[in-house]
Structure formats: structure tokens, C-alpha cells
């Protein structure tokens, strides 16, 4: 009788473990980009022009202002706006500020 009791306990634990794995496997993810820390980029595009003297960048024919404290990530390393070049693929987050779009975070993406 003891063997049957332990078998039921073991099967119950196995069932809970399988349910846990199924729950984790079905957690939705953002399609826009990878998670870096707890932040995900919401937009992507190719750089058409960069003018660091004016703190401006054009991505996909749309002009943006670079925030004064914009963070730039290249892979898992922090970079600077000096690394931004025409033709690069970027992931980025922006906000609206006084009728203009301001980029606050940039991820340099691999070329495809």
C-alpha cells in the first residue's frame, strides 16, 4: 500500500511540473525586438542620414531628434551616437516632445 501512495505523490509532482513548463512555454513575447534588461524596442528602421551636430537622425524617411541622454547599445555593449552610420539597421524607442519625435534608446541591429 505504501508503494501506491508514493506513486500517486510522484505522479502529482510530475503533473504540476508539466503544467509549469506548459505555462512558461506559452508566455507571450514582443515581436518588435529583443529584451534588453527590462526594456524592449518598439520601432525598427534603416538609417537614412545622421547629423550629430544638429542632434538629428533620419530613419525610414522620418526625422527624429536624439535625446541628450540617448542610450546606444551595440550587442551587449554600451556605445555612443558616434557609432551611428547611414545604412545601419536600428531598433529604437521614441517619445513625442513639443510636436517632434525624440529617440531615447537605440539598439544597433545586425545587417541582414
Domain count, the chain: 1
Kindly report the average pLDDT of the chain as a whole number. Answer: 81
Kindly report the backbone phi and psi dihedral angles of residue 8, in degrees, each rounded to the nearest multiple of 5, phi listed first.
-65, -45
**Which residues constitute the domain of residue 31?**
1-112
Contact of 64 with 102, CB cutoff 8 Å = yes
Give the model's pLDDT for residue 12. Answer: 76
Q: For residue 12, give Cα distances in angstroms to 20, 26, 112.
A: 12, 21, 48
Q: Which of 14-18, 86-90, 95-99, 106-110 has the lowest mean pLDDT?
A: 14-18
Percent of the chain at pLDDT exceeding 90: 52
Give the model's pLDDT for residue 21. Answer: 59
Q: What is the CATH number of the domain that holds 86?
A: 2.40.50.320
Give the model's pLDDT for residue 23. Answer: 57
CB atoms under 10 Å from CB of 66, counted, come to 22
Please give the average per-residue pLDDT across 44-71, as a whole number: 95
| Predicted TM-score (pTM) of this structure | 0.64
> Over 90: is that where the pLDDT of 93 sits?
yes
Residue 25 banded pLDDT, cuts 50, 70, 90: low
Amino acid at each position: 500500500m505504501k508503494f501506491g501512495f508514493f506513486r500517486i505523490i510522484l505522479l502529482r509532482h510530475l503533473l504540476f511540473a508539466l503544467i509549469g513548463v506548459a505555462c512558461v512555454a506559452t508566455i507571450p513575447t514582443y515581436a518588435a525586438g529583443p529584451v534588453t534588461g527590462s526594456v524592449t524596442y518598439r520601432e525598427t528602421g534603416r538609417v537614412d542620414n545622421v547629423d550629430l551636430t544638429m542632434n538629428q537622425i533620419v530613419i525610414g524617411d522620418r526625422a527624429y531628434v536624439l535625446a541628450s541622454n540617448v542610450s546606444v547599445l551595440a550587442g551587449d555593449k554600451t556605445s555612443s551616437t558616434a557609432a551611428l552610420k547611414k545604412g545601419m539597421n536600428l531598433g529604437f524607442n521614441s517619445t513625442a516632445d513639443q510636436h517632434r519625435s525624440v529617440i531615447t534608446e537605440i539598439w544597433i541591429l545586425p545587417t541582414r
